[in-house]
Structures are given as C-alpha cells and as structure tokens.
Structure 1
Amino acid sequence: MPKNKGKGGKNRRRGKNEGEEKRDLIFKEDGQEYAQVIRMLGNGRLEAQCFDGNKRLCHIRGKMRKKVWVAAGDVILVGLRDYQDEKADVILKYNPDEARSLKAYKEIPDTAKINEGALDEEDAEDNEDEGYSFADI
C-alpha cells in the first residue's frame, strides 16, 4: 500500500496563497467595545478586559473559529449584549499594527500594552539568567 507523505488533501492546499492583505481600520460603533484578551478558556470562549473597565466572558463567533487565532494579549472588538452585561461576542481581532493605530487615534488608552502576550527582549534576557544553560551541564 502507498504511504501518505503529505499533510492532508486538497482542502489544505486551497488556502495556501492567501497572504495578509492590508485592510481598512474598523472603529467601534454603538453596542461595541474594544477589549484585550486576558486568558483563553477553551470551547470558543475567552476572558477579556474591556476598555470601559468591565471584565467580560466573550464568545468567539463561528465565522472566526478555526480561521482567526486569538491569543492572550490580543486587542479585539466585542459586541455587547443588551440583556447580559457580563457577556459579549468577539467580532474582530486587530493585528498589532492596527492596535498601535487605534492607540495613536486615542481610541484605546495609552496604558494598554499591545504585545502583552509575547515576551519583550528584556524579559527574554532576564529569563536566560535565571535558569541553567547547556554549558552548565
């Protein structure tokens, strides 16, 4: 029998040439709020700190699931619910360049850290000093 050497069928190859195209910056409207992801909860849900001061449980909409990967520290746009203030729906994920643009337009506060999920260069250097290296063994 022939061995499978690839990673999936033609459905996997279908989206190969889709690059990151430049899109227009989308601002919030009535019933929407900017937020930053605190932690991922699984099952398409996450906990986010909205920039209006509330912490909300957010649900990733079906159009974004398995297509747009959301991680802790990302800036997102959430749709607020009229009947549940403690819950919201994720509408859009901003990439870091768009989040910096929102900060420049004063849409989100200056205290928000854009790359909170990723380690900074200084943090990476501090972590190297704490542990063992291969030269010590």
Structure 2
Amino acid sequence: MYKPNNNRKGGKSTTGQDGEIVRVRTPNKKEREVLGTVTNMLGASRVTVRCLDGTTRMCRIQGKMKKRTWIREGDIVIIVPWEFQDEKADVVWRYTGPQANWLEKKGYLKTV
C-alpha cells in the first residue's frame, strides 16, 4: 500500500560540528566542488562564475537544472571544474537567499 511522505519541506538535515542541525549543502572537497558567484549570463545554458579560489570560469548549467532552477546574476553556486580544462566547469547547485546568508554567517564565503 502506498504511504505518502509527510515531510513537506524535503531535503535532509545533518548535524554539524557544534551539534546544531544544518540544512544547507556545503561544497565537498573530495569531489573538487568550489563556491562561486555568478557574474554574467552568457546564454545557451552558460554563465560566468567568479570562484572563491580566485579564478573566473565559464560554467555550464547541467541539464537537470535547466528547467527546475533559475540562475541569475549574483547567485551563489557550487561548481565542479573540469578535469582536463580548468577554466571551464559545471554548475551543480544554487543557493537560495537564506542559505547564502547562512554560508556568509558561518564563514564559507570569504572574500578573495
């Protein structure tokens, strides 16, 4: 029998180092994920992102994100640089306003 999920908020919540509940996805260093800010919309599912490691990359919006998530200039995103060409990357996540404020408060968005 089908049983509906009563969790309407969606997503997982994990416990941080201080014991508080964290509901924001942070970049994974093992998967080479980097935080960045969208600086320019180029069209054809491409954006220019200023990354926290000091480089500006041309990034491609993944197919599963094209219609579901709208990305605008000034948004905070997680990107994964290509292995064979460092100046290009894929956008894998976009943060909402409250999530970006949380990242800034916790010190993830340090200025370069």
Give the TM-score range, shorter chain.
Answer: 0.7 to 0.9
Instruction: Give the counterpart letter for 2:85 in structure 1.
Output: Q
Deviation at 1:67, TM superposition (A): 1.2
In the other structure, the counterpart of 1:21 is 9
Q: Take 2:44 and 2:83, find their aligned partners in 1: how far apart are those partners?
A: 23
Q: When the two structures are superposed, what TM-score results if normalisation uses the length of structure 1? A: 0.63
**In the alignment, residue 81 of structure 1 is paired with which amino acid?**
W
Task: Report the counterpart of residue 120 of structure 1 in structure 2.
Answer: none
RCO higher in 1 or 2 (8 Å CA, sep ≥ 6)?
A: 2
What are the equivalent positions in structure 2 for 1:106-125 lying under 5 Å apart? Answer: 106-109=107-110, 111=111
SS at match of 1:77: strand
Provide the C-alpha distance between the structure 2 equivalents of 1:93 and 1:22, rounded to a whole number of angstroms: 16
Which structure 1 residue ranges, 5 or more long, are not aligned? 1-19, 113-137
2: CA distance between counterparts of 1:80 and 1:32? 7
- Please state how far the C-alpha of 1:21 moved relative to its aligned partner: 3.4
Cα distance in structure 2, aligned partners of 1:96 and 1:28 = 17
State the 4+ residue runs in structure 1 displaced beyond 3 angstroms: 20-23
Query: Which secondary structure state, in structure 2, belongs to the residue aligned with residue 56 of structure 1?
Result: strand
Give % identity. 32
Q: Distance in 2 between matches of 1:62 and 1:85?
A: 21
Structure 2 residue 43 is the aligned partner of structure 1 residue 55: no
TM-score of the superposition, structure 2-length normalised? 0.76
Question: Alignment length, in residue pairs?
Answer: 92
**Larger CA Rg, structure 1 vs 2:** 1
Query: Counterpart of 2:65?
Result: 64
1:4 aligns with: none
Cα distance in 2 for partners of 1:27, 1:80 equals 16
Shift of 1:94: 0.1
> More strand by proportion, 1 or 2?
2
1:104 is displaced (CA, Å) by: 1.1
Following the alignment from structure 2 to structure 1, what is the Cα–Cα distance between the partners of residues 75 and 9? Answer: 19
Amino acid at match of 2:51: C
